[in-house]
Amino acid sequence: FLLIFLLGSGALINFTQQTSEEKKDVILENRPEFCKIVIPEADSCFKHTETAPHYRAYQTDISTREKTLLGLVFITTETTPHITGYAGKIKIIVGVDLKGKITKAHIISHSETPRFVRKLNAFMHQFRNKNVQDSFELNNDVDAMTRATVTSRAITQAIKESLELVAAPYLNVQM
């Protein structure tokens, strides 16, 4: 009986933790702060879960109340969950304008070894203004982080594959 109780309690704790994490993500979505991370002009964003989950970022005209689509936002762990870094999943939020150009890529969370990813912000900055048609080849048009090749490759691959899944079909840009 004690073993069953302990196993059941562990499952309940695990379920509660997952539910709290899911609630945290739900609180962020559909709020302008969420999309503003990567598309600062956005004042609203709404999740779409068609083929590839993504958010649509809008700016509202104050006088007419008309919403103008500014771009798309996606989270790589939602679009490419199979891609992992050296120590696990790397959750990245990426904004793309209507022409298919990255406005910003920002790490939300990761489990990578801190001493190997010390220059993570500088690494992420190089994705800004990249276009969906760019090759995203490590050590060609994307400089890898020294001593963090697996992490660099995972981030680059997740962004590239996510762009292919989201930007190409929803923005009608050619790859």
- The predicted pLDDT at position 114 comes to 85
- The predicted pLDDT at position 51 comes to 78
- The predicted pLDDT at position 107 comes to 93
Q: Are 119 and 145 in contact (CB under 8 A)?
A: yes
- The predicted pLDDT at position 118 comes to 81
C-alpha 131/C-alpha 77 separation (Å) is 20
C-alpha 118/C-alpha 32 separation (Å) is 29
- The predicted pLDDT at position 13 comes to 34
Indicate the pTM of the whole model. Answer: 0.80
- The predicted pLDDT at position 140 comes to 92
Q: Are 46 and 32 in contact (CB under 8 A)?
A: no
Number of H helices, E strands in the chain: 5, 5
- The predicted pLDDT at position 10 comes to 42
- The predicted pLDDT at position 121 comes to 87
Q: For residue 4, what is the enclosing H or E element? A: helix 2-28
Taking phi over 0 as left and psi of -120 to 50 as alpha, with beta for the rest, 14 belongs to alpha
From first to last of its 175 residues, the chain has per-residue pLDDT tens of 444 433 344 433 333 333 344 444 444 455 567 789 999 999 988 888 877 899 999 999 999 999 999 999 999 999 999 999 999 999 999 999 999 999 999 999 999 988 878 888 899 999 999 998 899 999 899 999 988 999 999 999 999 999 999 987 888 776 6
C-alpha 35/C-alpha 43 separation (Å) is 8
Q: Are 132 and 175 in contact (CB under 8 A)?
A: yes
